[in-house]
Chains A and B, each alone.
Chain A
Amino acid sequence: MNEPLLQVKNLCTSFDVDSGEVRAVNGISFNLEKGRVLGIVGESGSGKSVTAYSIMRILVEPGRITGGQILFNGEDIVQYSKQQMREFRGKRVSIIFQDPMTSLNPVYTIGNQLREAILLHTDRNHEQANARALEMLQLVGVNEPEKRLKQYPYELSGGMRQRVMIAMALACEPDILIADEPTTALDVTIQAQILELMQSLQKKMGMAIIMITHDLGVIADMCDEIIVMYAGRICERGTADEIFYNPRHEYTKGLLRSIPRLDTGHTRLIPIAGSPVDLTNMPKGCAFASRCDNCMKICLSELPDELDINDFHKASCWMNVKQVYDEAAEDTKAVSLKKEGQ
């Protein structure tokens, strides 16, 4: 079997703030194979962006990786020096951010910013870099690319800017593209354009993509595999079909129930009660327990292990441990019988 391109092993990332240590990412592990599209979905604060930033090692102070390994082709990049990281970023793994306005430098032209990455990571001279920049802009479907090279970011629309970001990220043909909410700031028709573009480029260039989003629609559209995150941990993972049609974690089930659908008639939405957990004050057991309808005694005290549902599907939920579930059901039955007796 081939070794996966990227292996994240028990990654922990923390932020030290006044009120204590915030464990934004709390021991997650996953593999990314070559040419696959992996989706990470979760609410704000679930640690999905921090995971991406950890892989790129662009965490802002006071964030730091407190444990675990990130193996790229077998090498641990957590141990990389600053110099090694500079070579790694952009060339091996690149990232596109949510907001294309703030992630492009407003005082440099598009051409300047595109060339920078190419000159840094390849042997091309200035002219060749320019030609490559032009080629990339054509590839991502920017009209009048020659003119665009001389323009500044403010002269382009949101969709255009995101195309430029993609062109910049792909200019050095990275093995992995991390897309952190790439279409959240865009309108739905522009979003469709960008997603189609990413899909066609992925087929053409064969890179792997880590797609981070809170939009289950985007995930369903793009991804082969899905990771569902909650409060810094992975609560469920599997192929797209398994996650959408056979969810086995209560949080995933709740998420799928709470989104409106187009195909069904008007049914009332079933929201997830409560609000997301406070990361500075994490509960002892399952982080989702306080919002879970089927919370059992064990959920409050012990963290469930990741359990194989089948070959393509894993979930960390006590509901899947038959013995535990049966015992809890017995308890509930006993309680209700007792009540009836009274």
Chain B
Amino acid sequence: MSEYLIDVRNLKQYFPIRSGWFGVKAVDDVSFCIKPGETLGLVGESGCGKTTVGRTILHLYKPTDGHILYKGEPVTSETVHKYRQEMQMVFQDPYSSLNPRMTVSDIVGEPLDIHSLYSTKKERAERITELLSLVGLNSDHARRYAHEFSGGQRQRIGIARALAVNPEFIVCDEPVSALDVSIQAQVINTFEDLQQKLGIAYLFIAHDLLVVKHISRRIAVMYLGRIVEIADADEVITHPAHPYTQSLISAIPIPDPKTARTRKRIPLEGDVPSPLNMPSGCAFRTRCRYATERCAQERPPLAEIETHYEEPACSAAGHDDARFLRRRRHGRRGL
């Protein structure tokens, strides 16, 4: 038995396109682990492959290469049906991820039907009521259709559906980005309560760093299909080591006028390169202020400090940033 619940090793996911040999490298050699009951935040800009990582873990896409281990056992296309009782997903858009022609009890009950998790109809109904109350809805809601609910309530239905099979791991793909600020906090709290109550581990995918920092113990930062930095949540926010992370953190709009006025942004030039035409070496070098010749030649290795832990994948930062060097020697706390 492995100490990790989810162990992703060298995951690659390429999508074929009409021209070219290899297609789009949506996820390119990504490795990380999640312990039971832990939350790993995954951040990055749109198109960086964070959603693809989440979907590939659940075998919604067949990975091009690499391994996904669940409690040390490999998850493959043949065995994935079994693992879907352990791993579930909550989707971004609460409007399109619920079937408009099904009642709430059908939506939440469907996983129970698929995995035959009940013996009598009464048991099924009781389980549905229990699930709805877990996410803060009541049994009256079970007979209604999805369109009768507000965005926040719909997202709760999505969470109840994911919880139906008693999973130990849930991929949350931008679960709060479609919601209003005041409702966002309600749903985030629901996620946290469920984790405390049921010990579920999350892969929490979002582009809002304030939300990710709030909910995650560790954060992984992705850029163009690769993880460029992964560390303790506070560490990533207070001492970002990769130049991309530094820019990202400095760009977060902070809801505090005094800080906003005094703080200095590290602007990024230009746009994200097309994943069809990736720069050689380090993918970030075209926008990096530290970029050297070496960055164009070789892809910076993921320096390992401890098993399953990567230092920021940047060689230039290592030369220019004394803080980076210091940390490389000492490793990082809490990992």
Interfacial residues of chain B within 232-288, with CB under 8 A of chain A in the complex: 237, 247-248, 250-260, 265, 267-268, 270-272
CB A255 to nearest CB in B, in angstroms, measures: 6
CA gap between A219 and B214 in the complex, in Å: 21
Pair B256/A275 contact, Cβ less than 8 Å:
no
B19 interfacial by beta-carbon distance below 8 Å: no
Question: Which single member of A214, A221, A269, A271 contacts B260 (CB below 8 Å)?
Answer: A221
Pair B251/A189 contact, Cβ less than 8 Å:
yes
CA gap between A332 and B14 in the complex, in Å: 64
A337 interfacial by beta-carbon distance below 8 Å: no
Pair B183/A271 contact, Cβ less than 8 Å:
yes
Task: List residues of chain A with CB within 8 A of the CB of B255.
Answer: 216-217, 219-220, 244, 256, 259, 261
CA gap between A276 and B183 in the complex, in Å: 9
CA gap between A240 and B258 in the complex, in Å: 9
CA gap between A255 and B183 in the complex, in Å: 10
B225 interfacial by beta-carbon distance below 8 Å: no
CA gap between A268 and B153 in the complex, in Å: 20
CA gap between A331 and B257 in the complex, in Å: 38
How many contacts A-B (CB < 8 Å)? 125
B335 interfacial by beta-carbon distance below 8 Å: no
- Report the interface size class on chain B: 35 or more
Pair B253/A221 contact, Cβ less than 8 Å:
yes
CA gap between A250 and B165 in the complex, in Å: 40
Tell whether A272 pairs with B254 under 8 Å between CB atoms, given A157-B271, A188-B248, A260-B210.
Answer: no
A335 interfacial by beta-carbon distance below 8 Å: no
A133 interfacial by beta-carbon distance below 8 Å: no
CB B146 to nearest CB in A, in angstroms, measures: 15
Pair B189/A268 contact, Cβ less than 8 Å:
yes
A143 interfacial by beta-carbon distance below 8 Å: yes
Pair A187/B45 contact, Cβ less than 8 Å:
yes
Pair A220/B271 contact, Cβ less than 8 Å:
no
B182 interfacial by beta-carbon distance below 8 Å: yes
Pair A190/B182 contact, Cβ less than 8 Å:
no
B133 interfacial by beta-carbon distance below 8 Å: no
B46 interfacial by beta-carbon distance below 8 Å: yes
Pair B267/A259 contact, Cβ less than 8 Å:
no
Task: List residues of chain A with CB within 8 A of the CB of B182.
Answer: 43, 254-255, 258, 271-272, 276
Pair B181/A240 contact, Cβ less than 8 Å:
no
Pair A266/B214 contact, Cβ less than 8 Å:
yes
Tell whether A262 pairs with B251 under 8 Å between CB atoms, given A216-B181, A270-B185, A275-B153.
Answer: no
B292 interfacial by beta-carbon distance below 8 Å: no
Q: Which residues of B contact A (CB under 8 A)?
A: 45-46, 150, 152-153, 180-186, 188-189, 192, 207-211, 213-214, 237, 247-248, 250-260, 265, 267-268, 270-272
Sample (10) of A-B pairs whose CB atoms are under 8 Å apart = A157-B271, A187-B272, A188-B248, A216-B181, A217-B252, A217-B255, A245-B257, A268-B189, A269-B185, A275-B183
Q: Which residues of A contact B (CB under 8 A)?
A: 43-44, 143, 157, 159-160, 187-193, 195-196, 214-221, 240-241, 244-245, 254-256, 258-263, 266, 268-273, 275-276
